Amino acid sequence: MDKNAVMAGLKVYEGELKALRHDIHMHPETSYEEFRTSALVMEKLSAWGIQAEGTIAGTGVVATIKGSRPGQRAIALRADMDALNMDETNTFGHRSTIPGKMHGCGHDGHTTMLLGAARYLKENPDFAGTVHCIFQPAEEGGAGGKRMIDEGLFERFPSDAVYSLHNKPGLEVGKFITRKGPQLACADSWTVTFKGTGGHGGAPEKSTDTTIPLAHFILGLQSIIARNVPALDSAVLSIGIIRAGTSHNVIPAEIQVTGTSRCHKPEVRALLEKRLREIAQHCAAMSDCSAVVDYVQGYPPVINAPRETDTAIAAIAALVGSGNVDGDSPPINAADDIAYMLEKRPGCNVMIGNGKGPSFKNNHMPDYDFNDDILVLGAAYWVSLVHQELNAAT
């Protein structure tokens, strides 16, 4: 791959890509409602002569580009399209036009970068094999990636590997990070309901008191992290909601406590759930109460495969030099539903520096924005990755 030719080729589209990114940013759409965005993606692909299917998981789009040389290998490149339910405080011209909705995570940029790459690959199909570009709905909590899989994503678009790219505010423009193995956390939620008889605050001996198991449970919960999770593994258990009581002199008959658990390994995830259930039951039994545990598994951890991570690192190094990619960056406690695709196919999630400017502080902040200066570089990463994956023998 001639990196200068790729960058120059993509630079030709830069103005159009910026306009496209601004258009998507101005019209943010949340989970499974990405109708305008999906139609825009389909319109662009069609204008560039790229074959695409546009209704998988409702608004999801998959575009297929075949290389000019024969090859059996196929890879999938995934971008997310959805926005967040939040108000934007930016005042620039391309700010959100829809109250209460904002592209606060940069998925407008992810969609645009992949569109740029798709166009370039269609015009420069100098590779052996097939590339599927996945534009998925509902990454922000709606598990759009899982729904695409459930609707036959990898049967309809057979892929040997799957890759994704997410922007990283605070990381300099031109830098990339990734890591082999667990990279992003799982995000589970749970509610424990302690049930007793409740009773008169002045006569606790005549009731079973749910506040006592709650107190033991809160302390016991943190002993899972301190005493059960291996010291070199990471895990977090946090309580966000406690609901109980109606009056200072009434012992509550029911208490609900709700929280989240995060970790990076499937075995630690199973351990957290098992011990949380046990501690809740035993704390309840100590006070002659009962406990009902509702444990909801959210996104699984993002686990990058060794071979595909090496391939991604090589693709970045070919573009910006090995000094600009940290291939062993620390795990992050955010989640991403690319995890579902990575459970089905080996692959790698890469994060691209969004820069350190005041607008690029952090995802999900009301004054965040995707950095237009990385549109070409992000698209170039995709092209470099395709060459690395499908032109390795040449």
Query: Does 375 interact with Zn ion (rule: CB under 5 A)?
Result: no
Number of residues that bind Zn ion (CB under 5 A): 1
Query: Does 276 interact with Zn ion (rule: CB under 5 A)?
Result: no
Residue carrying structure tokens 């890879």: 75
CB of 105 or CB of 289, closer to Zn ion: 105
Q: β-pairing, 161-169 with 347-355? A: parallel
Q: Find the shortest distance in angstroms from Cβ 260 to Zn ion.
A: 15
Q: Find the shortest distance in angstroms from Cβ 295 to Zn ion.
A: 23
- The interface region with Zn ion, picked from 101-109, 126-134, 184-192, 370-378 by CB under 5 A, is 101-109
**In whole angstroms, what is the distance from residue 379 CA to residue 77 CA?**
11
CB of 168 or CB of 269, closer to Zn ion: 168
- Residue nearest Zn ion, Cβ-based: 105
Residues in contact with Zn ion, shown as a per-residue x/- string from 50 to 89 under the rule CB under 5 A: ----------------------------------------
Q: Find the shortest distance in angstroms from Cβ 112 to Zn ion.
A: 14
Query: Does 105 interact with Zn ion (rule: CB under 5 A)?
Result: yes
CB of 74 or CB of 351, closer to Zn ion: 351
Q: Find the shortest distance in angstroms from Cβ 363 to Zn ion.
A: 5
Q: Find the shortest distance in angstroms from Cβ 141 to Zn ion.
A: 9
CB of 223 or CB of 362, closer to Zn ion: 362
Binders of Zn ion among residues 290 to 329 (CB under 5 A) are none
Q: Find the shortest distance in angstroms from Cβ 286 to Zn ion.
A: 40
Residues in contact with Zn ion, shown as a per-residue x/- string from 216 to 245 under the rule CB under 5 A: ------------------------------
Residues that bind Zn ion in the complex, under the rule CB under 5 A: 105
